[in-house]
Structures are given as structure tokens and as C-alpha cells.
Chain A
Amino acid sequence: MATRFGDWLNERSGWRAAYTMVFLRKIPKINWAYTLGSATLFAMIIQIVTGILLTLYYVPDPQLAYASVGYITNELPFGWLIRGLHHWGASAMVLLVVLHMVRVIIYGAYKYPREFTWITGVALLLLTFSFGFTGYLLPWDQRAYWATVVGTQIGEVTPVVGDTLRAVMLGGEEISGLTLSRFYGAHVWVLPSVLLLLVGIHIYLVIRNGITSVPKRGE
């Protein structure tokens, strides 16, 4: 039954060839360090699912944001779990993405023909940090507020455009409701769109170029 449906669908979509190309492709003999990219991808999926669930209740309004987060954490059934997963998942993402990059560096996997994979990877690293930065403000508590003050002041020391950069980030001279809504917009719309696009390209490249083998002595 399942195979018959699979055949029917395959005839009209060729999904088996795609499946083989993605999941049954030949790879060299590798080790656990090569699973770090997939682990990051997995953490990303958790972040997307729990993040979408959080948007059902969270409101990016300076009057209500803090209360809505409190409601999620303390009153909704399993709200603590959904929020906790998203919270700790964010740290896991940063950790995993950095470890993944370290593996690529140690094995020299960034070399020809994988330079572009590396470049998309650098963008993904920065994106991951941006997620953390924009997400941190959203609970709208003291810690969120001051972290954003510090973060945007770091941006301010950028030569020449520093002041403008900070003002654009904050949507004004000070942190306000405008800051909150633009951080929210960035966190749930802008960054995820770019992330998915880049992850798509990154993984396409990994499959298209094949994975590196563990370098041998003298290589």
C-alpha cells in the first residue's frame, strides 16, 4: 500500500531520485564531528517550531510584552516547556554552529571547491548571532533592556556610521516601543527568511560538492 502510493507519487514527482541524492548519497568514511552541521539544522527546526508556538501568545508591545511572556511561562499549560526549549535552544544553536565551524576549520573543509559553502556558513553564523541579539530584547525585562543598551552601544563604536547605525537599530535615540517591534519583526520575519534561504543554499552546496574526507597525515 505504502509502496504503491510511493510508486504512484514517484512516477509524477521523481521523489525517489531526490531522496537518494539527499539521504543515500555516497560519503567517505567520516566521524561524529561531521554530524555537527546536521545537529545545528535539527536545533534550527526546534527553534522554528517553538518560536512559532510562542508567537501565538507573545505581543511585541511595550505595555504587554512582559505580561504576555509571564502568561506563557507561568499560566499556560506547558508554556514553560515551549519557552524553555526556545530559550535553551538558542544557546544550543550558537554552541553547535561554532563547533561545526571549528570542525570545518580543523579539517580544512573550507578549501576548494567549498569556499562558497564556507561563505554561506559565515553568513549563517552571523545570522545565528543576530537571532540571539534580537530575541534577547523580546521578554522586555531589565536584563533584556540593558543587554540591548550594551549591544547597540557596541554597534555605536563602528567608525563613521556608528551613531546612525545605533539610531537605525533602535528606531530612534532611545530604546522604545519602536525598538521592540522592529526587533520582533527582524526576529520572526526578516532573519528566518534569510536563514531558510541560506540554509537551503548551504545544504545544496554540501550535497552538490560532496563531503570532505578526514584529512590524512601529510595532506
Chain B
Amino acid sequence: MVEEKGHPNGIDEQPATDAKPKAGEDLDHRVSRRKLLVTGVGVMSGAIAATVGVPAIFYVAGPAQEQGGEQDWIRLGTASSIETGTQTLMKATVERRAGYLTTTEELSVFVSTENGADFVALSNICTHLGCRVRWVDDQNAFFCPCHNAVFGPDGTVLEGPPPRPLDRFETKVEDGQIFIRRT
């Protein structure tokens, strides 16, 4: 330890020159003790802030990286129950995981078929602002009660504000059961 003399820790910016300068030493370029300490404290604080701060960014962003945890293929019901020439409303509950919470959500899908083998599954959510559309057999169309949109049986927009057709699911039939998947 360097012996302190004269100014006991006073406010002064002079280098701590208590130690005798050694022969040939460049006095002007000696770092003052204060400067060394201030820099040291600064570097250490920065390191600690980074140790907490950088992981904190990942920690905060964590859930944004997560998948919804939704099942892949969702079973709707028996394929034989779907008649040709109309729309059959089928429901399924899907589990959704958000962090520590798993919630179940009702999914309603209009399923139709022309030949009993190929199925079309349309979401019942209006592509305008998300109201639920309903099928009217007489008119052979879907109607949205919110802003009077009309969709054709294949989901195309016939009238009203929706920007795109009804969303379609991918479908498959396995052991007489019909499954859908989001595309």
C-alpha cells in the first residue's frame, strides 16, 4: 500500500505522487489513483450491468419466440356425416399454450365436399374484422352479420368489405375421420 501524506483523500486531481519517482519515469503520463479507481469502478459497473442486462433482453423477448403449442392435425369428426351440396359446421377444441397457461379454444369450421372424397374446410371467421359468418342454404352463400359481407360456397368474396376469401384449412381423411390443419 502507498503511504498517504498531506491531503487525506481531499478533492484534488493531481496524480498520487507520494511514491518517489523512479529514475527516468515520465511523470506527466502517470495515471492518477483517482482516475484508475474511477475507470475501474466504471468498467466493473459496466460488466455487471451487461451480465444482467444482456440476459434480460433474452428473458423479456422469450415468449415471442415460443410457438403457440397448437396441435398439428386437428380431428373434426366422421367424414361420412358430411353431405354433398351443403356446408356442415363442425367444431373442435384446440389447446393453446401461452407460457404457463394452457387454454382451450373452440374452433368452428365449415366442411363441404363434392364427391365424398375431397373435402374443403373453411374457417367461419370473417376476413374483414373477425365476426362469425353463417351459412344460408337457400342462398347458397355465407353471410357476415357485421358489415353485410357475402361469401360464396368456396369462400370467395361476393359482396362487402372483406379483403380476401375465407381462410382454408388443409384437410385429410384417415380411418373415416376428417382432420384439418392450418396452412
Q: Which residues of A contact B (CB under 8 A)?
A: 20, 24, 26-29, 46, 49-50, 53, 56-57, 64, 67-68, 70-71, 75-79, 81-82, 85
The yes or no answer to B60 lying at the interface (CB within 8 A) is yes
Chain B residue contacts of A27, Cβ below 8 A: 9
The yes or no answer to B58 lying at the interface (CB within 8 A) is yes
- Residue among B56, B59, B61, B101 with the highest chain A CB neighbour number at 10 A: B59
Chain B residue contacts of A82, Cβ below 8 A: 52, 55-56, 59
Do the beta carbons of B100 and A49 come within 8 Å of each other?
A: no
- Residue among B8, B55, B58, B65 with the highest chain A CB neighbour number at 10 A: B55
The yes or no answer to B21 lying at the interface (CB within 8 A) is no
17 A-B pairs, CB-CB below 8 angstroms?
A20-B11, A26-B8, A26-B10, A28-B8, A49-B52, A49-B56, A57-B99, A67-B100, A68-B100, A75-B99, A76-B62, A76-B63, A77-B59, A78-B55, A78-B56, A78-B58, A79-B62
The yes or no answer to B4 lying at the interface (CB within 8 A) is yes
Chain A residue contacts of B101, Cβ below 8 A: 64, 67
Q: In whole angstroms, what is the CA distance A76 to B55 when docked?
A: 10
Do the beta carbons of A77 and B100 come within 8 Å of each other?
A: no
Question: With A29-B4, A68-B99 known to touch, is A53 a contact of B9 (CB < 8 Å)?
Answer: no
Of the candidates A26, A46, A53, which one forms a contact with B11 in the assembled complex, judged by CB atoms under 8 Å apart?
Answer: A26
Do the beta carbons of B59 and A78 come within 8 Å of each other?
A: yes
Do the beta carbons of B8 and A79 come within 8 Å of each other?
A: no
Q: In whole angstroms, what is the CA distance A161 to B11 when docked?
A: 54
Question: With A56-B60, A77-B59 known to touch, is A85 a contact of B99 (CB < 8 Å)?
Answer: no
List 8 tightest A-B contacts by C-beta distance, closest first: A78-B55, A67-B100, A71-B100, A77-B58, A76-B62, A78-B59, A24-B11, A68-B100
Do the beta carbons of A85 and B52 come within 8 Å of each other?
A: yes
Question: With A46-B52, A67-B100, A71-B100 known to touch, is A53 a contact of B59 (CB < 8 Å)?
Answer: yes
Q: In whole angstroms, what is the CA distance A146 to B56 when docked?
A: 32
Q: Give A124 Cβ to nearest chain B Cβ, in Å.
A: 23
Q: In whole angstroms, what is the CA distance A85 to B9 when docked?
A: 35
Do the beta carbons of A79 and B52 come within 8 Å of each other?
A: no
Do the beta carbons of A29 and B99 come within 8 Å of each other?
A: no
Q: In whole angstroms, what is the CA distance A71 to B99 when docked?
A: 7
Chain B residue contacts of A70, Cβ below 8 A: 100
Of the candidates B4, B10, B56, B63, which one forms a contact with A53 in the assembled complex, judged by CB atoms under 8 Å apart?
Answer: B56
Near A by CB (< 8 A), chain B positions 51-73 give: 52, 55-56, 58-63, 65
Q: In whole angstroms, what is the CA distance A77 to B61 when docked?
A: 9
Q: Give A33 Cβ to nearest chain B Cβ, in Å.
A: 16
Q: In whole angstroms, what is the CA distance A33 to B115 when docked?
A: 87
Chain B residue contacts of A78, Cβ below 8 A: 55-56, 58-59
Chain A residue contacts of B63, Cβ below 8 A: 76
Q: Give A44 Cβ to nearest chain B Cβ, in Å.
A: 14
Do the beta carbons of B60 and A53 come within 8 Å of each other?
A: yes
